[in-house]
Structure 1
């Protein structure tokens, strides 16, 4: 039994599960905005970034060991899972409340309520960003002949995170009629990008650790 848990197949499935769980958790808790002090400056961010930062290094780990196809399959799995959860939540919100319900409508809506626009923005940003990340990482691996993992990981992450942030912010918040034009969205986006870039650099040792751990379960064919 222990040998099964040490196998490459089990370790890969474990990382895929953590990836999907991180993406879903990021969406669920992303509505809360927190503020911390960093070097004397206020840093405001969505708490959804906490599990989100894990997704890129897990994807790079899978891509490095198994190749682009497996990484793309992981993205598709997370995409379908998110879409299913969003549909279930929308259905639950649409159903009428019974008088005996111990969770009242305002409370339930406050936790799970989200607009169709936010859902579309979230799905589009995730899919475009992570598919771009898997493609760029794979192409860089070919160019570097499998060397400089730190460089490949960070470049693909920077590009993926930029796509994710700009696509989501513009689809979710761009509305010139209410004063939320291009300058507003860019001002909203840049602090998130800076934080994501910093987390990407911090993630680098975890990519190396993840690759070593995954390869410890056996040899994968790319």
Structure 2
């Protein structure tokens, strides 16, 4: 690989990492708003389905990006992005805590109580998200590479969906369980949020498979990679 190709590969990696971190941090900040993601209001066992947090909207992007990085750059680089995302989440939490501590001026459009109401639960959300995120992302990467070894680099759709489905269930269960445990969400919503979250993420995983194929195809063609070959960044 030429120096020009190495620099291009490094830039693309940084862009993917930036998209990953942004999606993760934003999902922790906006999680307190809920919406119906399907026009039908369905109840199962007296639990409303398809009610879901807006924080879930950018979250599937993180799994698409880690799968793409895993495929092109390898397991080590994917794990590095995950750890960087944890650092970014903690740093964003510290900024929120400082912002919440300083008093608002009399003419501030956002008053102290409003700010605290919107971001007051961010600490618990970030902690819950990080625990779920750690379990889910590392499981996603492990399962992805297990299927990659088993299929010898073939059947991309198989490892993409199997790894994402399993890890997303772990992620959703952990987040909802912790938020209910800290009484941010009522336990009566547990089943509905769990089922809705898993269904949403499974559907998104199916929908993002063509984008993963496209990304892998473009990257492999750009850097002339063979089947199961990975880019090595210095």
TM-score normalised by length of structure 1: 0.86
- Superposition pairs for residues 16-55 of structure 1, below 5 Å? 16-38=17-39, 43-55=50-62
Structure 2's unaligned 5+ residue stretches are: 43-48, 226-230
2:206 to 201, 208, 211: 201
Distance change (3 Å), C-alpha of 1:49 and 1:146: same
Q: 1:210 is matched with which residue?
A: 215
- C-alpha distance after superposition, 1:101-157 (max 9, x if no partner): 342112222332215433311111111111111111111111111111100010100
- 1:8/1:217 CA distance change after superposition, 3 Å: farther
Shift of 1:45: 1.7
- The CA deviation at 1:6 is 8.6
- Alignment check: 8 A CA contact 1:8 1:215 kept: no
Q: 1:4 to 1:145 in 2, by over 3 A?
A: closer
Q: Secondary structure at the match of 2:57?
A: helix
Structure 1 partner of 2:65? 58
1:101 correspondence with 2:112: no
SS of equivalent to 2:52: strand
Identify which range, 130-139 or 117-126, moves more after superposition: 117-126
Q: What is the CA–CA distance in structure 1 between the aligned matches of 2:37 and 2:126, rounded to whole Å?
A: 27
Structure 1 position 16, deviation (Å): 1.1
Q: Which moved more, 1:56-65 or 1:116-125?
A: 116-125
Identify unmatched segments of 5+ residues in structure 1: none
**Following the alignment from structure 2 to structure 1, what is the Cα–Cα distance between the partners of residues 124 and 21?**
22
3-state SS of 1:96 partner: coil
1:69-218 alignment, distance < 5 Å: 69-114=76-121, 116-174=123-181, 180=187, 185-218=190-223
Change (3 A) 1:179 1:146: closer
